[in-house]
Amino acid sequence: MRKLLVALFALGLVVAFTAPVYAATVDFTGHYRWQGKWQYNDEVRSPNSTNQAWMDQRLQVDFTINVAEGLAVKGRFNAMDRVWNGNTTGAFGADQAENIYFRRTYLSARTEYGLFEVGYRSAGTWGTVFADTEADGRPRVFWTAPFGNLTMLALYEKLAENDVGIQSSEEDMDAVAVAGIYKLPYGQAGLLYYYIRDMRETAVGFVPGGYDHITQLLSPYFKLTFGDLYLEGQYYYKFGGFDFADAAIQDVDYRGHSWYLYAKYAINQWYVGGQYAFVAGNDGSDPGKNKAGQTGSDYNPTLLLWNDDMGFNLGSYGNTTTDAMANAWLIQGFVGGNPMPKLHVKAALTYAKAHKTPVAATLMDKEIGTELDLEASYQIFDNLSWWIGFGYLWTGDWYKANNPANQIDDTWMVMHRLQLDF
């Protein structure tokens, strides 16, 4: 099946290459970003023992080398992506050791049979931001084409390759996906099916006889606009699991789900709205089942909780919140607008609670906390903007883990960003 799919994509590229070649032109877009962050008590302990403050910068350039009409090489590279005078390795990424590093390079060919893209291209995004974890670049063979109001997509993806130099059966990890996006009178709706097979026998250590590790994802979404009202939502269902060849080892089934709803209503230059997000947890009561849901790290509903822009976790007693939302639900209300043409302000209040309490931790509380976020951005020039945000989290007893004697305290942060787009 995989070889057939790759062969079909290759045939489409052969057709694309029959176009005449002209002198190449190059287009650039991107941004330069400088930002500073100050975090108080990221361990949420009492008394506080940890404060962090730093500044960082990044130059990101997207380029397109146009060879002929519909035929191009595209890519992205970053330069000087680092903490100012910080370590070039560690929590903020080993890539800081390199002055210039390429994120993506791929061929793009638009033919009468659709758009074909082959190489390290963008990945990890679908529907709304809720399930997104945009990758720097994954090796893919990608196809998309419109059929009236329906746009179809298909891809093959290499997630891991361990066959090189090994005279044995395949030791890699592959994925295929198909999806459709339908244009509606008031918006769009889509459905994705994603299939991953991990054949790396040593991925979870030595297992007698090996195993099959299959992960499948099903995700519908919608985006709708009715006058001043905007609505979007997404459902994310993960299923599959481990099937071990050795009958003495218990198989594990995945059955996890997550979902999100978002609404925003415009009132002149102002707006109000809210969102609800849920990611199922797994309490460990059945070792043969994993009911944990999944979402993406790009979903940053607040400035402190589940914000991958901060680069570290909250909590230190065993229960933490990381860059991707997990085992929790949240509800948020927000208001914002433009009091001046170039000034945008926003305020949001969020309440979050854990979904499941592990069986082994009966003393654990489910309340994660309540967070207030205040943001403002100012358009200095057409391409230059400045943004500042303040977040305060009234921490809940979730961070005490299974020991009520653990003392916790609130945490807060200030973050600002200067960005030039070109």
CA distance 124 to 279: 18
pLDDT in tens, 281-324: 988 788 888 899 989 899 999 999 999 887 778 988 888 898 89
Which pLDDT score, from 0 to 100, does residue 10 have?
A: 47
Indicate the number of domains in the chain.
1
CA distance 227 to 287: 49
More confident: 324 or 12: 324
More confident: 90 or 416: 416
CA distance 192 to 399: 35
Query: Could you count the other beta carbons within 10 Å of the beta carbon of residue 291?
Result: 20
Cβ neighbors of 340 (< 8 A, separation 6 or more) are none
Q: Is the pLDDT of residue 327 over 90?
A: yes
CA distance 261 to 128: 10
From the list 194, 180, 174, the residue with the least C-alpha distance to 296 is 194
Q: Is the pLDDT of residue 167 over 90?
A: no
Which pLDDT score, from 0 to 100, does residue 22 have?
A: 52
pLDDT in tens, 192-222: 999 998 877 665 666 666 677 889 999 999 9
Confidence of residue 155 (pLDDT cuts 50, 70, 90): very high
**Mean pLDDT score, 88-103:** 61
Which pLDDT score, from 0 to 100, does residue 202 have?
A: 60
Structural domain boundaries enclosing 197:
2-421
Most trustworthy range by pLDDT among 16-25, 303-312, 351-360, 403-412:
403-412
Determine contact, residues 178/190, Cβ cutoff 8 Å.
no
Which pLDDT score, from 0 to 100, does residue 310 have?
A: 76
pLDDT in tens, 62-90: 999 999 999 999 999 999 888 888 765 54
Q: Is the pLDDT of residue 55 over 50?
A: yes
Confidence of residue 330 (pLDDT cuts 50, 70, 90): very high
More confident: 406 or 233: 233
Q: Give the chain's mean pLDDT.
A: 87
From the list 298, 299, 332, 326, the residue with the least C-alpha distance to 314 is 326
List, in sequence order, every residue forming a beta bridge with 6; answer none if it has no partner. Answer: none
**Mean pLDDT score, 3-8:** 45
**Mean pLDDT score, 263-287:** 94
Confidence of residue 3 (pLDDT cuts 50, 70, 90): very low
Confidence of residue 362 (pLDDT cuts 50, 70, 90): low
Which pLDDT score, from 0 to 100, does residue 351 have?
A: 98
CATH of the domain at 335: 2.40.160.100
Residue with the two structure tokens 């309540």: 370
- pTM score: 0.86
Which pLDDT score, from 0 to 100, does residue 8 have?
A: 44
Measured at the CA of 59, the angle between CA 136 and CA 390, to 5 degrees, comes to: 90
Which pLDDT score, from 0 to 100, does residue 15 have?
A: 44
> DSSP assignment of 122-133, as one string?
EES--SSGGG--
Which pLDDT score, from 0 to 100, does residue 9 have?
A: 45
CA distance 280 to 181: 26
